[in-house]
Structure 1
Amino acid sequence: MPESAWKFLFYLGCWSYSAYLLFGTDYPFFHDPPSAFYDWTPGMAVPRDIAAAYLLQGSFYGHSIYATLYMDTWRKDSVVMLLHHVVALVLIVASYAFRYHNVGILVLFLHDISDVQLEFTKLNTYFKARDGSYRRLHALVADLGCLSFSFSWFWFRLYWFPLKVLYATSHSSLVSVPDIPFYFFFNALLLLLTVMNIYWFLYIVAFAAKVLTGQMRELKDLREYDPSEAPNPKPSKAE
């Protein structure tokens, strides 16, 4: 529960800030993704409000690599999660260094909302059986959160992400800057991110199938090991 509480607060704050940048300022990147590359030049200045978001997110994913290895609960997808954190950190650092920060804010906005809902749902799942008593309100909120999380994962990461981000980086960037540097490097990492999003969506589909067929009556994270299973040992600091 402490792990989920910490992540919920972090993702909620970061997503709220990125939503403010995209909808509360003059940045048009959500409604007009190709504008992320309008007037793009090497070494262009990074606005302070975007730089602040990058500093916060970069420090978090740097910590997350360590946390996944030594602090967080080891799950069936922990190796993929570790790869995700490495890819995310490389994208954050490289996009800042090579001035692809405009589209980077859009990437962060489209991904953080699902994590907010995931951790919120997990918290209510833990709370519903607190102190040995069943709490119907938390159970209802967890069920609704699960539905909302599943929909938002598909809509934000598997629909809007290709429609807005991949379209802008793979097509619009070449229209605005025909010789834009590191084109294949960034698009390869973004495509890898898409593959990982599809991988985790398969967990969501498997979860929904078990609920609909009556194989699962209580919400449960399918990534977590059952007590009867022998989880892979976590790396130790001494290794």
Structure 2
Amino acid sequence: MDGGGMDVEPMPGYVELISRASSVMLGAWRDCRGCGLQLSRQTLLENAYITWTEIFLFFFCAFLFTQVRRGLTECLFKPLSQWCRLLPKDAAKMPESTWKLVFYSMSWSYSTYLLFFSSYSFFHDPPSVFYNWKSGMSVPTDIAIAYLIQGSFYGHSIYATVYMDAWRKDSAVMVVHHIITLALIIFSYAFRYHNVGILVLFLHDINDIQLEFTKLNIYLKARGGSYYLLNDVLSNMGSVSFSITWFWFRLYWFPLKVLYATCVSSLQSVPSIPFYFFFNTLLLALLLMNIYWFLFIVIFVVKVLKMKEVNDVREYEDEDGAKAAAGLLKRPQAENGGGGGDDDDDDDAGRHNSAQGKQVQNGITKDKHL
């Protein structure tokens, strides 16, 4: 892990990344003699190392995540949303955000520990992820634990996005994202690219923490027939922080630290590194999806600048829920309790949404279609 006494390379800029990565990849493509399905199959058999025990643990933990989420949702998250007296559409989505906030906070904290409070120097010296790489090398236990947790969670998330989460405008893209992420986790573990995998997970999980924190405060600012300024302020602060760190972690550090290491530094350390194009294609697809979601963030920022309500722009419009929220937010903060007519309106909204059946369960007004 010490890189053989090599000096730490300075982080490149965007221009250097594009020029050097494209030049190196083009040269590698020209030098690839006999590339094709047969060679890929042979390389897979010679370099992929994964045991049946690890496969069993992956499926068991993915199933366990699903059951734990269901248990927490029924026993804790739903009662909590009822206790907070959220609007029906917000109460339906609060368990999802709470679950994700808990998981990503724990997973990102563990990745942070590995990168900054252990002997690993991957963040400060990204090319070191490929130093001393050997086919079939042992995976350190602390990194193997991180891979098991993250891999099984994304296995669970593919199922959860379709059958448990609220359906949004980008949910189909989210399913593709989870599949690509899971493929990267499984193959990077099997080919012993686990060092770069920890760096990728660290750079992505922080945004999910901020996203779910912001969404929870959006749900909580209009509850129990009242408006709560603190949650409104926290949701705005979370939105600003989310927008900044999305660009900084996913569009700045991710390409300049990870992609430069995988496209350029990998061939310098391991000239015949297996599945070079396969892994870099997946990482580039991940970058494209980060750019795609950044467009939603730009739309969100434009809405904020126009002084519109802070909300998740990926959500489908729910006219009844929007009217109810608008009615609550128009009330003065000092208003006491609300009159009987307001309570009747809330009951009517609840009965109306109860009639929606499947839509209320998912907090939306559209069916799910991939």
1:10-53 CA distance string (max 9 Å, x none): 00000000000000001000000000000101000000000000
Greater Cα shift, 37-46 or 219-228: 219-228
2:318 corresponding residue in structure 1: 227
Cα distance in 2, alignment partners of residues 56 and 135 from structure 1: 36
Q: Return the TM-score normalized by structure 2.
A: 0.62
Match of residue 93 from structure 1: 186
Query: Paired residue for 1:212?
Result: 305
1:84–1:196: 8 Å Cα contact kept in structure 2? Answer: yes
> Identity, % of aligned pairs?
68
**Structure 1 Cα separation of the partners of residues 280 and 224 of structure 2:** 49
5 Å matches for 1:47-58?
Answer: 47-58=140-151
Superposed CA deviations along residues 63-96 of structure 1, whole A, max 9, x for unmatched, are 0000011110000000000000000000000000
1:23 paired residue among 94, 101, 116: 116
String of CA shifts for 1:195-230, please: whole Å, max 9, x gaps: 00000000000111122123x1x2110100002599
Deviations 1:142-198 (A, max 9, x none): 110000000000000000000100010000000000110000000000000000000
Measure, in 1, the Cα distance between the counterparts of 2:310 and 2:306.
14
Aligned length: 234
Whole-angstrom CA distance in 2 between matches of 1:156 and 1:14: 16
Partner of 2:161: 68
* Structure 1 residue runs of 4 or more that deviate by more than 3 Å after TM superposition: 228-232
2:272 matches 1:179 = yes
* 1:114 partnered with 2:207: yes
Tell me how far apart the structure 2 counterparts of residues 116 and 3 of structure 1 sit (CA, whole Å). 13
- Whether the 8 Å CA contact 1:70–1:235 is kept in 2: the answer is no
Q: What is the alpha-carbon distance in structure 2 between the residues aligned to residue 13 and residue 52 of structure 1?
A: 13
Residue 233 of structure 1: CA displacement?
2.1
1:100-127 per-residue CA deviation (whole Å, 9 max, x = no partner) reads 0000000000000000000011111111
User: Contact 2:143/2:194 (CA < 8 Å) preserved in 1?
Assistant: yes
Deviation at 1:130, TM superposition (A): 1.4
Secondary structure of residue in 1 paired with 2:166: coil
Cα distance in 2 for residues equivalent to 1:150 and 1:14? 21
Partner-residue secondary structure (3-state), 1:16: helix
Residues 74 and 231 in structure 1, CA contact (< 8 A), matched pair in contact too: no
C-alpha separation between the residues in 1 aligned to 2:115 and 2:157? 25
Q: Equivalent residue of 2:137, what SS?
A: coil
What is the distance in 2 between the residues matched to 1:165 and 1:199? 19
Specify whether residues 129 and 231 from structure 1 end up closer, same or farther in structure 2 by C-alpha distance, changes over 3 A only.
closer
Counterpart secondary structure, 1:26 = coil
Q: CA–CA distance in 1 between the matches of 2:318 and 2:120?
A: 49
TM-score normalised by L of structure 1: 0.95
Instruction: Give the aligned residue type for 2:294.
Output: F
1:188 and 2:322 matched: no
Which of residues 268, 292, 307 is equivalent to 1:199?
Answer: 292
CA distance in 2: counterparts of 1:40 and 1:231, whole angstroms: 51
**Contact 1:28-1:35 within 8 A present in 2 as well:** yes
Contact 1:128 1:136 in 2 (8 A): yes
2:24 is matched with: none
CA contact (8 A) 2:316 2:366 kept: no
For structure 2, the residue ranges without an aligned partner over 5 or more in a row are 1-93, 321-363
